[in-house]
Chains A and B, each alone.
Chain A
Amino acid sequence: MNGGERVPPGDVAPRFPGFDVLDQADHWDDATRSVVLSRVHALPPIRFFTPEEEAAATCLLDRLMGQDDDLDPHRIQLVRMVDGRLAERETDGWHYDSMPQDDQAWRDSLAGLDADARDRYGRSFAECGLEQQRELLSAIHGSDQERWHGMPPKQVWSLWTRYAATAFYSHPEAWNEIGFSGPAYPRGYKNRGVDKREPYEVPDARPSDDPVRGRRG
């Protein structure tokens, strides 16, 4: 793997060229290395989702995280990470009283997505094109309705995005994309402070590429 190839969607070049956090894995403690590498090499097979749910969840998670190229060799296997959490009931430790427990809420909401897709486009969510999928999701994200298939749409969105973001940014490929150096035990960080870097950290190639300013400008 070459982390330096990691390019955010819509960008033409990586922000942290040549940076690969796994180059430092030999300096990590055993427990941490084992947990991080298991996401890269040893994700368990799908245990919780049915094939239909797996298909819908794959597209949902990839759209939420902007992984829009199915053939991208760096694509992170989000659906398997989310499936693993649900199979092992690894929840966030709470659920809204207006929602079922997380595992059931995932099943219900994926069924809701497929129902919306059939209603509007006559096919399942996974069979829709990227733009169609995005439109279906935008409608839920922007919804001011009390209920969407029996659940508050804001809370459905919260459920999806929490699981998606946790899966995506737990992966070293995502750390490469954002220049995050990750674990530093037992070594620690030696160069702390504004514009200071460890010898293995890579400066941002486009430091003034401010997404907030960019969007407003």
Chain B
Amino acid sequence: MTIAVRERNESAWLLTPRGGVDHRLRDDMRRFDDDDEVDLVVVGAGAGGSALTQRLARKGWRVVALDAGPFWDPEQDWVSDEAGSHQLYWTEPRQIGGSDPVPLGSNNSGRGVGGSMVHYAGYTPRFHPSDFSTFSTDGVGADWPIAYEDLKPYYEQMEAELPVAGQTWPWGDPHGYPYTPHPVGGNGELFLRGAERAGIEARVGPVAITNGRFGNRPHCIYRGFCLQGCKVNAKASPLITHLPDALAHGAEIRADSMVTRVEVDERTGRATGVHYVRDGRQRFQRARAVAIAGYSIETPRLLLNSASDRFPNGLCNDFDLVGRYLMVQGAPQTGGRFDAEVRMYKAPPPEVSTEEFYETDPSKPYKRGFSIQTVSPLPITWAEHIMAQGHWGADFRNYMSDYVHWACLGALCEFLPQPGNRVTLADEKDRNGMPVAHFSYSQCENDRQLVKAATAVMERILKAAGADEVVTIDRYAHLVGGARMANRPEDGVVDGECRSFAVPNLFITDGSVLPTQGSANPALTIMAVATRAADRLIAGPDAPRREDAAASVPARA
């Protein structure tokens, strides 16, 4: 299987023999001029943008991926430190509102090459087959224009390329993983113990963290700090799983370049490139096609800011759908207190999951469901939990001094897509003069019931494991939606192949195209959707002529 992976994506073998970033690959990177009409310009080098870039570069497409943030070197730039990792998050101004405002930044928004996968925990579950037709089956959410079977081969490819470690998975479409599960730490041990006693099935995994050597990537060293960027390069992010191969095949990654507007020719109705700011200068990259992959806040913001005579309400926004149906998962976290020392900071936070409660249970008053996973917050995040309980001063410090005794589980509740949960442009502007995003969020009754049900199950597991006290705080996780895919333009911004309905050579290849979110962490699905879109592009009318394509592959690849 390793051979098959290497034939389609050599990234893990393009790191240095010790598993670090190979700077020669970056120094020798092909560089296009703004005036070169590249085959594709990609906006955002995160999960979706990077996977797309790698696939197309391999087929000889001339691709430039622009990213607003830096081109990281994990060894130099990242630290084993919570507060010191603030640069990994999108910290340009953004406004939040609605009746349940959702914090952004470290919670769900990455910045720089690799995107949010730099600081995600590393959980990479698949969506379940039921996720693709919740409207038909459960009367809530939306139906996708594609089915699970359409994504399945791409799930398998990504699980091999990241690669994913975990036990055989009994839920959804049952499947195995290419790597065996990791040993668990104190938090995972207590989850497994509590789940067994409570009669709930739990499994170790699935995590995109190498268990064993993979190419030049080393084994995980269990240092915690997965959410601060993996210095070991054991945890997968496109920075190491897809971009080395993209560079070797002639793609350019242009970091520190903030795209502010997509240009569309009013006469032809086709996208002609993107305006961006680099080193304080306004620039324009010409391109035969444009793929936006800025994730659920920045993708809608860019479309809305690209209004024109033809699109007075924002690009691709003929039906007032851009920015709408944005989703977060309800993610309550429940801590359990044990006289024993748990020291949950040791070992990766992602260890054990259950998806037993994922689908609609007809005996319950709510639709759809939730998953439960280990989360293991570090002290600053844990302190925010305790303060959210109302503690401060000496009482708070005393509470915090008990940190090593706590285990912590988190739920992912499938909040439903609603049109009013959306991104709009605020009056406030960023330093480039571009209006900042306003993100409004309000829960519906089904959402609230899911959080309550998930909290009860987490408390049950921790008490069964022997916790003498449990506390829960409400929070949110992940972002998807905001430019969803659909069968027709009245229902969505792009079709099932990520092509926008309004502009034939404009694509959206990130989490914003997801019509529903399930109770799964979205990274794997975003990559699967993007690589499927890549295959369609390669086979479609936008592909560069074959002789051009062959000529553009640099000899060194």
Contact = CB atoms under 8 A, between A and B. Distances in A.
Contacts of A175: 379
Interface string A144-184: 00000000000000000110011111100011011111111
B392 A161 contact: yes
B228 to A, nearest CB: 10
Interface in B136-182: none
Contacts of B189: 193-194
B97 A31 contact: no
Given A93-B105, A97-B426, A194-B189, A182 B397 contact: no
Nearest to A216: B469
A207 interface: yes
Nearest to B185: A192
Contact of B383 (A93, A169, A188, A195): A169
B471 to A, nearest CB: 7
Interface string A65-102: 11010000000000000000000001111111110010
Contacts of B387: 161, 165
Nearest to B102: A94
Nearest to A91: B91
B106 A93 contact: yes
Nearest to B111: A93
Interface stretch (B26-34, B342-350, B488-496): B342-350
A189 to B, nearest CB: 4
Contacts of B340: 194-195, 207
A73 B401 CA distance: 19
Interface in B179-225: 183-186, 189-190, 221-225
B468 interface: yes
Given A161-B392, A185-B221, A95 B397 contact: no
A96 to B, nearest CB: 6
A210 to B, nearest CB: 6
B270 interface: no
Contact of B80 (A29, A65, A98, A162): A29
B394 A188 contact: no
A212 B337 CA distance: 9
A18 interface: no
Given A36-B81, A177-B401, A178-B404, A188 B221 contact: yes
A192 B79 contact: no
B91 A92 contact: yes
B212 to A, nearest CB: 15
A28 interface: yes
B78 interface: yes
A99 to B, nearest CB: 9
B473 interface: no
A8 interface: yes
B103 A211 contact: no
Given A35-B81, A97-B426, A213-B469, A92 B346 contact: no
A11 B103 CA distance: 35
Interface stretch (A44-52, A119-127, A196-204): A196-204
B379 to A, nearest CB: 4
A96 B394 contact: no
Contacts of A95: 93-96
Contacts of A55: none
A94 B82 contact: no
A41 B450 CA distance: 47
Nearest to A211: B399
Contact of A203 (B76, B77, B341): B341
Given A93-B109, A212-B471, A35 B396 contact: no
A217 B380 CA distance: 28
Contacts of B428: 101
B83 A192 contact: no
Contact of B380 (A169, A190, A197): A169
B393 A192 contact: no
A169 B103 CA distance: 20
A39 B52 CA distance: 41
A97 B106 contact: no
B405 interface: yes
A51 B291 CA distance: 50
B284 interface: no
Contacts of B225: 183-185
Contacts of A93: 89-92, 94, 104-106, 109
Given A36-B81, A91-B91, 16 more contacts: A10-B397, A29-B231, A31-B77, A32-B81, A65-B392, A66-B396, A90-B91, A170-B82, A170-B83, A180-B378, A183-B81, A184-B221, A185-B225, A189-B347, A201-B343, A211-B402
Interface of B: 75-84, 86, 89-97, 101, 103-106, 109, 183-186, 189-190, 221-225, 231-232, 337-343, 345-347, 378-380, 382-384, 387, 390, 392-405, 426, 428, 438-439, 468-469, 471
30 contacts: A8-B397, A8-B398, A9-B397, A29-B79, A29-B80, A65-B397, A66-B393, A92-B91, A94-B104, A96-B101, A97-B95, A97-B97, A161-B392, A165-B380, A165-B384, A174-B379, A177-B397, A177-B401, A181-B343, A184-B223, A185-B80, A185-B232, A189-B185, A189-B224, A189-B346, A192-B347, A194-B341, A197-B341, A212-B399, A213-B468
User: Sorted from nearest, which 10 A-B pairs have the closest CB atoms?
Assistant: A93-B105, A188-B221, A183-B80, A170-B83, A192-B185, A97-B97, A9-B394, A35-B84, A165-B383, A66-B394
